[in-house]
Structure 1
Amino acid sequence: MWTKIRSSLLALAAATLALAGPNCPPLGPVYEKPNNFNTSSAMKAALANLTAALTAWDQNNSSAVRADITSYSIEVFSTSKDHPVIFSWHHTAPSNSSTNSTAVGVSKTDGDTVYRLGSLSKIFTVLTWLAQDGDAKWNDPITKYVPELAAAADGRAKRDPVANVPWDEVTIAALAGQLSGAIRDYGLMSEVTQEMNLTEAVSLGFPPLNSSDPMLPKCGEWPQCNRTEFFNGLLRAYPSFAPFTTPAYTNTGFQILAYALESIKGKSFEAMMQESILEPLGLKHTYYRNAPAEEGIIPGGNRKAAEWDYQLGDEDPAGNMYSSVSDISALGRAILSSALVPPVVTRRWLKPAVMSSELIAGVGYPWGIRRVVVPYANGKRVVDAFNKAGNIGYYSSLLVLLPDYDAGFVILAAGEAIPGNNNFNLADVVGARLVPALEAAAREQADAKFAGQYIDEDAGANSSLRLTTQADRPGLGIEGWVSNGTDMQTIAVVLQGGYAPVNPSIRLYPTGLETARPDGSRRVAYKAVFEDLNLPARDPATSMFSTDCGTWVSFTGVTYGTQPLDQFVFEIDETGAVVSIENLALRSVMKKRR
């Protein structure tokens, strides 16, 4: 075989082939993460477009929007020190304005206006765990830390799996990742008998229940369950699924997580959140419970109807909190920059726990994950967006993190009859404009910084390459790569694929590997993807198992003296300028021509 390949290489060494098919990058950013928000033409256009779209939204009183009774705040953020807030927008409904004599709380929304978060609180809960104890225990069974569940794991589930959760099979990660299979709530937010009296329930078609029935919750919304009552009820409830079968949303899991962390650390969960997140990040407008009304937006001026004062008791870790867009923006930046936990913990956290039945959706800890397609005419590229939404009373919330750009956005809304999915509808408006612009801004920045001719001065023009970017393809393109006078572009693709002829394409992508020096200079590694663009495209509708995007299996497919041919390292000086690029296998350092 190699005899045939060698002869093909000799014939192809001087050939120049036109690029044709799509490129398939690895998962993750395809350029250096952007920070050129003020100078990027793409970002300027996108933010102008977003301003126009939200201006129109604020005049829309249709049932899908109800701007007349819904107030909201939006903040787009990044980890860039120069541009931590990329965009902000606030709308105050007339019913909450200063001209309304019944208004309670703030009369004009801004970055510090406090809203209720609902289930967005779960992000604080999981981050408190990670900051306090890391994720080393995440595969431990929950029975190790919660004695009520340990006592329940006595074989009942084995005798009757339909009726009992096998708690000794449920791990910390299963609870954080919505994979425990346990019920959503006990007595709260889903219990009909807590929402109405038994006579009303029977009139809706439910069967009569005896008030002494042990399955009838005696606590929940009011009076709220204490820990003993909660477990007495929870352990009587049927499971929804076997553990690790499918994501099934549970608030009970986050209440249990808080009990477990209290057992491990010997401190109250609220105190741990305060010392791990609220104080280090200086979140002055974030409250675990009982936020002051004068800081809040309270639709209709009715605290009770808005559920401003309603507390979830021991289920607080699942959805009780209050915050502002400026504080949630700071939280998002802290997560993306690993300000509270080691970077490797963040990378593990921002990964799926499980996929869902929707092709572009998954579930994390406790993220909802959307796979956003970034359209390239000649490339396959998805961006994983990690989000957490919440709803409680008159309030809805949404935090979206885009790790590929170290950016994200937060939406907090409040309305007397807030439209369903109001938070996600606004997110569609923001995301449709933001994500393509972030990708374009990153490409603009990469082109200005990396594109150009690189030459190994020790070897003369015999060893060189050119880097470019193209709007229709992801990543940095390598063109004219010559090593000792040989067309390395073709040779690299043929050596990796094991066949010839080929239509070679080589593109570079960030690896996350970087060495920072005390003087501010850096060594930054990029991985090349060697592709034959002659390979046929695959139609997912007719290709059940075959793929045209499996490049992840081919990394470091060719080595020379142990060093990978597909690994390149940039030398970047203290000013941020690119000095050179080195190919590890070829031991060749090529300096950038100024």
Structure 2
Amino acid sequence: MLSHFTTHLSLLSVLLLLFLATLTTAAPNCPPLGPVFEKPRNFKSSAAIRSAIANLTETFRARDVDNSAAVRANITSYSLEVFSISNGDDQVVFSWDHTAPAHASSNITNGGVKRTDTDTVYRLGSLTKIFTVYTWLAQDGDAKWNEPITKYVPELAKAADKAKEDPVGNVAWGEVTVGSLAGQLSGAVRDYGLMGELTQTVDQNTAVQLGFPALNSSDPTLPKCGVWPHCNRTEFFSGLLQVYPSYAPFTTPAYTNTGFQILAYALESIKGKPFQQLMEESILRPLNLSHTFYSKPSSSLGIIPGPGSGADAQWDYQLGDENPAGNMYSSVRDISALGRSIMRSTLLPPVLTNRWLKPAALTSEPNAGVGYPWGIRRILLSSITNGKRVVDAYNKAGRIGYYNSLLNLLPDYGVGFSVLIASPNLPANANFNLADVLGEQLLPALEEAARTQAQETYGGTYSNGGNSSLKITTQPDRPGLGIENWVSNGTDMQYVSVVLAAGYSPVSPSIRLYPTGLETAIIPGEVDRKNGRKAMNGKRVAYKAVFEDLNVPARNPPSMFSTDCGSWVSLTGVTYGSMPLDQFFFELDGSGRVVSVENAALRMVMRKE
């Protein structure tokens, strides 16, 4: 009898261990790319956001007295803002300014400000490129982005055939498109006569001592212009066409400043106006960026580190015709306004914004890509969501003289941040170091704020008053809205839907709903054309379901070709009478309260209890 009982106990123990093993090795949820909840609103009421802001305040107070080589607070000034496009809150989520004590206590003779604030003007460096691409898109859209640049720049058209004879020695300009210049895929040289050109910054004797050969002044490859005097358009193309290509077009991202100078020339050709005028009339004035400048503004507006007139800081130095690549000046308040306008599609149609905020290419770093001209970081939040949750951050950084800059957009949350830095001895990677500090606190808090908001809005039980119902919940360790206890006409739809989607009987069926970005305003009394019902005042919001069996073992480490996260392939994979089983519609009243949910395939409205 004891032996029989022991056998049963052992069997139960084995089953329990198998069950626990299944839980620990189960594949995580696989949401589609994009937000897993609606963008958070009401930041002031979010406990997670308030906690993150308190932690950031404490962190920056400590940084502002840190004089280590990594921070250099005594000589490094900076301004930063975290901003939101939420309509329910003040647009600034968090703001911080630090004036280097060495700067504040110095006898400033260069005309710059004594203390920094959100309107203090800094140099932007390559962050200028966002303004350049934004100007093109606002002026002309992206319809020409797949056209050859030779169509708009005659100097390049004349040189296009050279690559056919000697592709190693000549850029294939006939294959370089407008978009490839904006997306760093042209294969052209990084600069001509400016940054990195040693003959413009060291004398011949020094160059020879460094191991370089002496160059004859008649050598056609020796730049006769660049740092000073600046190259005019004729000199620029005359020199550029002597230079070898870095790669064939569209081979790999290779950073080029020359590409943005050429883009400006092309837009001037299309519009018949100077590029600065195009930028001012399409970006700076419409957005009221009163502290943003294409060329050097009054020194009284800016922070100019170091002694003297600002020559060492390069406050005064201008890039000439290469201005569209890195010359501009701005404040964090204006950069934040720029970022909000992009995510809100203030100046562009939303579909154009969506195309702009997409990768142009991958890089050799697995979590990085290149856009137009964004640097894209793919941030994994798997430790937070127990899912293949990826947040794509679109950023553009810059550096010139004593200045560092960064604009970072997080479209999934409608949140971004701007960082501007000035120091006579900039810490390495200073702008991204501050971004890491912000992101470490913000991203988990934003995800939690969005989840809490989703639970308050959509969570609850829905029923048709008969034998059809479902429950919607959220979990702190899962992405999206979870559907539980889904019954349609007495049938367990949670089980049936996963069977139909997967093609086999699931062990652990899971349904998660994710926002699609599709919504329609509803006019009171209007009749819905699909179901014939009179509508209420409010809106109709579409969500997409992912049907999964979480019993499938996770591939950790990932396989070479196989995947446990291919949900994008199965979307709208099951339909009934042409209507998708994975499409759900919520109706919200004018106050934002959810009234009902409807599954497209089942054609059944269930009201929220």
Q: TM-score range by the shorter chain?
A: over 0.9
- Alpha-carbon spacing, 1:191–1:129, altered in 2? closer, same or farther (3 Å): same
Q: Residue 372 of structure 2 aligns with which residue? A: 365
- Give structure 1 stretches of 5+ with no counterpart: 1-16
- Alpha-carbon spacing, 1:377–1:130, altered in 2? closer, same or farther (3 Å): closer
Deviation per residue, 1:47-86 (Å, 9 max, x gap): 1111111111111111111111110001000101322110
2:323 maps to 1:316: yes
Q: 498, 502, 516: which is aligned to 1:493?
A: 498
Amino acid at match of 2:423: G
Find the residue that maps to 1:73 and give its secondary structure.
Answer: strand
CA drift at 1:539: 2.1
Amino acid at match of 2:397: A
Q: Residue 401 of structure 1 aligns with which residue? A: 409
2:95 maps to 1:78: no
2:572, 2:582 within 8 Å by CA — same for their partners in 1? yes
Q: Residue 197 of structure 1 aligns with which residue? A: 203
Find the residue that maps to 1:372 and give its secondary structure.
Answer: strand
Q: 169, 180, 196: which is aligned to 1:174?
A: 180
Q: 441, 444, 450: which is aligned to 1:442?
A: 450
2:536 maps to 1:528: no
Whole-angstrom distance in 2 between the partners of 1:211 and 1:335? 48
Q: Residue 601 of structure 2 aligns with which residue? A: 585
Find the residue that maps to 2:179 and give its secondary structure.
Answer: helix
Amino acid at match of 1:49: N
- Alpha-carbon spacing, 1:369–1:205, altered in 2? closer, same or farther (3 Å): same
Q: Residue 264 of structure 2 aligns with which residue? A: 258
Q: Residue 573 of structure 1 aligns with which residue? A: 589
**Larger mean Cα displacement after TM superposition, 19-28 or 561-570:** 19-28
2:422 maps to 1:414: yes
CA drift at 1:117: 0.2
2:168, 2:244 within 8 Å by CA — same for their partners in 1? yes
Amino acid at match of 1:515: T
Whole-angstrom distance in 2 between the partners of 1:370 and 1:44? 25
CA drift at 1:103: 6.4
Find the residue that maps to 2:352 and give its secondary structure.
Answer: helix
Find the residue that maps to 2:82 and give its secondary structure.
Answer: strand
Whole-angstrom distance in 1 between the partners of 2:61 and 2:213? 50
Q: Residue 10 of structure 2 aligns with which residue? A: none
Whole-angstrom distance in 1 between the partners of 2:260 and 2:106? 41
Deviation per residue, 1:208-257 (Å, 9 max, x gap): 11111111000000000000000000000000001000000000000000
2:385, 2:479 within 8 Å by CA — same for their partners in 1? no
Amino acid at match of 1:416: P
Q: 42, 45, 51: which is aligned to 1:39?
A: 45
Deviation per residue, 1:251-292 (Å, 9 max, x gap): 000000000001111111101100111001000000000111
- Give structure 2 stretches of 5+ with no counterpart: 1-19, 525-536
Q: Residue 98 of structure 2 aligns with which residue? A: 91
1:95, 1:299 within 8 Å by CA — same for their partners in 2? no
User: How do residues 233-252 of structure 1 correspond to structure 2 at under 5 angstroms?
Assistant: 233-252=239-258
Q: Residue 354 of structure 2 aligns with which residue? A: 347
1:140, 1:171 within 8 Å by CA — same for their partners in 2? yes
Amino acid at match of 2:93: I
1:104, 1:301 within 8 Å by CA — same for their partners in 2? no
Q: Residue 506 of structure 1 aligns with which residue? A: 511
Find the residue that maps to 1:376 and give its secondary structure.
Answer: helix
CA drift at 1:101: 4.8
1:467, 1:478 within 8 Å by CA — same for their partners in 2? yes
Deviation per residue, 1:284-327 (Å, 9 max, x gap): 00000011110000002431111001000000000000000000
Find the residue that maps to 2:134 and give its secondary structure.
Answer: helix
1:475, 1:509 within 8 Å by CA — same for their partners in 2? yes
Whole-angstrom distance in 2 between the partners of 1:59 and 1:85? 25
Q: 410, 425, 433: which is aligned to 2:433?
A: 425
**Larger mean Cα displacement after TM superposition, 417-426 or 382-391:** 417-426
Find the residue that maps to 1:90 and give its secondary structure.
Answer: strand
The structure 1 segments of at least 4 consecutive aligned residues displaced by more than 6 Å after TM superposition are none
Whole-angstrom distance in 1 between the partners of 2:93 and 2:60? 15
CA drift at 1:342: 0.2
CA drift at 1:518: 5.2
2:160, 2:173 within 8 Å by CA — same for their partners in 1? yes
Paired-residue identity, %: 70
Whole-angstrom distance in 2 between the partners of 1:438 and 1:301? 42
Amino acid at match of 1:492: S
Deviation per residue, 1:341-363 (Å, 9 max, x gap): 00000000000000000000000
Aligned residues: 572
CA drift at 1:102: 4.4
2:74 maps to 1:68: yes
Q: Residue 479 of structure 1 aligns with which residue? A: 484
Taking only aligned residues, the RMSD between alpha carbons, in angstroms, comes to 1.4
CA drift at 1:98: 5.6
Whole-angstrom distance in 2 between the partners of 1:339 and 1:518? 25
Find the residue that maps to 1:75 and give its secondary structure.
Answer: strand
Whole-angstrom distance in 2 between the partners of 1:211 and 1:67? 46
Deviation per residue, 1:102-133 (Å, 9 max, x gap): 46411111110000000000000000000000
User: How do residues 204-283 of structure 1 correspond to structure 2 at under 5 angstroms?
Assistant: 204-283=210-289
Q: 554, 558, 566: which is aligned to 1:537?
A: 554
| TM-score, normalisation: structure 1 | 0.95
